[in-house]
Structure 1
Amino acid sequence: MTDVIVLNGGSSSGKTSLARALQRLLLPTPWLTLSIDDLIAALPASGGGVDIGPNGEVTVTAAFHTLERAWSVGVAAMASAGAPVIVDDVFLGGSDSQNRWRSALDGLDVLWVGVRCAPKVAVSREAARGDRVAGMAARQAELVHEGVTYDLVVDTTVGPAEECARRIVAHMG
């Protein structure tokens, strides 16, 4: 039985909508959804170790990586205690990011899902959202998948969140 579903995709790729659709389809078992945005929202407004440049480039410091590691271990502890978790993340470090999660989730049954979205569509979603720095979606669309291995890849460009979520649930058996 799957303990953790990790969704990795760039900004505005549809991860959060997909996570919510998964929660609806996986009922009656309640699944927690935890996002890298939750961790970033918990950081102090300045000095949290995440800097977003004027063109959407994201830079993180060693201090952030320390907090991120602690957060992922906490997520793993929740899953180990019996709370199934959907992780909504952006692997800015590609395979290094995945390896950090692999280490934290060791011993758990994890489903790795790549969430793809055509850059032009992600950019359009980014503009419509209004809560992201322009350029972030375009920069991250391919970067976050470099060197990452998945059990399943879904494309939110061509399928709505519910359809992609059904594919994930079917893959889980």
Structure 2
Amino acid sequence: MTTRTTPGAGAATGAEGPRRGFGGLIVFLNGTSSSGKSSIAKELVGLFQEPSFHLAVDAFHAMRSKPELTPEQLPAVLRRTWMGFHRAVAGMAGAGNTVVVDHVLSEPWRLRDCLELFPHRDTVLVGVRCPLPELERRERARGDRPAGLAAGQFERVHAHAVYDIECDTGDASPAECARRIEDFLHRRTTPTAFERLAAERA
């Protein structure tokens, strides 16, 4: 299995491990469509001893009503949905909940928005990778994604290049990835990926 932490991290922040309640921790899974984020998230929340929430952006898109939209209207509607999703995540974490998020950082503004909203010390950024041929195979098997969606996102999603931990679902199951992530939460380090990304953009 390929799972690695990002070089350059400092001292561990939680020697006692993830405490009950986590204090509003956000576990942020970023990867292309069909990379396995939702499957990892479902496994991960099952490992936590305290109540936690899996918030998926696809669920927010599914909640939106379906009026006829022109091609000119659609980008603004999609952007508002993403922005609302980010604020829902921030609100849940701000109330002290543990939140596992699956996300697609294929547009730079999405990361900027999250950096403004999410607590940098208490956000764990997880890169979910998968080889492109396997992504395309999964996409065809699913049949519910536009052809070429994952390929179009492949280079852009990880362009920021900074993570706390990464997983490759091409050679590891969702359960294996979830266990590695849960183990990492017991030995989180600083500065976090969000702290480093925020410093780069300061």
User: What range describes the TM-score normalised by the shorter chain of this pair?
Assistant: 0.7 to 0.9
User: How far apart are 1:71 and its partner, in Å?
Assistant: 2.4
Separation of aligned partners in 2, 1:154 and 1:47: 39
- Quote the residue 2:75 is aligned against: 61
RMSD (Å) for aligned C-alpha atoms = 2.4
- Runs of 4+ in structure 1 off by over 6 angstroms are 48-51
Structure 2 vs 1, CA of residues 108 and 46 (structure 1 numbering), >3 Å: closer, same or farther?
A: farther
- Quote the residue 1:56 is aligned against: none
1:25 to 22, 36, 47: 47
Larger CA Rg, structure 1 vs 2: 2
The answer (yes or no) to whether the contact 2:61–2:81 under 8 Å persists in 1 is no
2:168 to 142, 155, 160: 155
User: How far apart are 1:127 and its partner, in Å?
Assistant: 1.1
Spell out, residue by residue over 1:24-65, the C-alpha distance to the aligned partner (whole angstroms, 9 max, x if none).
222x212211111012112232467999xxxxxxxx623432
Query: For structure 2, which runs of at least 5 residues remain unmatched after alignment?
Result: 1-17, 187-202
TM-score (norm 2): 0.73
Q: How many residue pairs end up in the alignment?
A: 164
User: How far apart are 1:108 and its partner, in Å?
Assistant: 6.0
User: How far apart are 1:22 and its partner, in Å?
Assistant: 0.5
The answer (yes or no) to whether the contact 2:127–2:158 under 8 Å persists in 1 is yes
- Quote the residue 1:44 is aligned against: 65
Which AA in structure 1 matches 2:64?
L
Which AA in structure 1 matches 2:56?
S
TM-score (norm 1): 0.84
The answer (yes or no) to whether the contact 2:57–2:85 under 8 Å persists in 1 is no
- Quote the residue 2:91 is aligned against: 77
Which AA in structure 1 matches 2:43?
A
